[in-house]
Amino acid sequence: MNARFLTDQGQVRSLNEDAGGIFFNQSDQLLAVIADGMGGHQAGDVASSMAVSMVKEGWESIPNDLSPHEAEQWLVETLRTVNEKMYIRATEVKECEGMGTTIVITIMTNEFITVAHIGDSRCYTLHEKNLTQITEDHSLVNELIRSGEISKQEAHHHPRKNVVLKALGTQHAVQADYRTLTIEENERVLLCTDGLTDKLSDEEIETFMNTHEAIEEIATQMVDLANERGGEDNITLILIDNKEKLEEGEETC
């Protein structure tokens, strides 16, 4: 299994409010996480970094392999705890008022993948050359698509396309969506923020992920294209290839 994390400030923003990483528990199970922060001042940066740091700390302390059911339970409980602590900080520290973050987390083994998310950061899988979006955006435009009020094409140009309906830390309690899937050899998994998906279509992402290039090159090419098309937002992704064994010391970037 090979994994790479890449984040880019983009062409417009003065601060990168995205955070993420690739981490291992004590049984060498892989967790990948991406968070896209929001809020005034530097609160978005604080929110995303805080979420990733807490997930990392909890994950690296786990001594044993988790089963799919245990992975789901751990994600639900962890996100509940992170949300509570973030919400308390946002109410007690004036500079952090209103802060929040999207989050998407994948626990991945050679047998299964468990995904949890809040907001519009996404997880995709590539199986037998077909790209599938595993998560469903908690966003205004996605609800409009679901209700038939707008099309997917119209959503790309909607004036409120970046409005999320759920975020970590903005309410006292928030429910993450989660699911577990069987993973097969040679599958690829992509986690990403809307800085990527606002600029690249699913068809383009599928084409990139089907190439035989190293995942470092694929990740760089997708970020470069998002920047070429304006790069108005921070751009962050994690690409995982369920094929090669990760080399010693390459778990994080």
CA distance 60 to 229: 37
Q: Are 155 and 202 in contact (CB under 8 A)?
A: no
Residue for token pair 């990733």: 52
Q: For residue 94, what are the contacts with CB-CB under 8 A and spacing of at least 6?
A: none
For the whole model, what pTM was predicted?
A: 0.91
**All domains of the chain, ordered by start, with CATH?**
2-132+164-241 (3.60.40.10)
Task: Report which of 23, 29, 26, 24 is spatially closest to residue 5, judged by C-alpha positions.
Answer: 23
DSSP letters, 64-116, are: SPPPHHHHHHHHHHHHHHHHHHHHHHHHH-GGGTT-EEEEEEEEE-SSEEEEE
User: Tokens in use for 96?
Assistant: 């952090």
pLDDT at 138: 93
pLDDT at 243: 73
Residue for token pair 């304006």: 230
State the Rg of the chain over Cα.
17
Could you tell me the CA-to-CA distances from 199 to 52, 101, 160, 196, 233 in Å, in that order?
24, 20, 16, 6, 10
Q: Consecutive sets of 10 residues in the chain, 253 residues long: mean pLDDT of each?
A: 96 95 97 91 88 98 97 98 96 91 96 96 96 92 74 68 86 95 91 96 97 95 98 97 54 39
pLDDT at 42: 66
How, if at all, do strands 100-108 and 30-38 pair? antiparallel
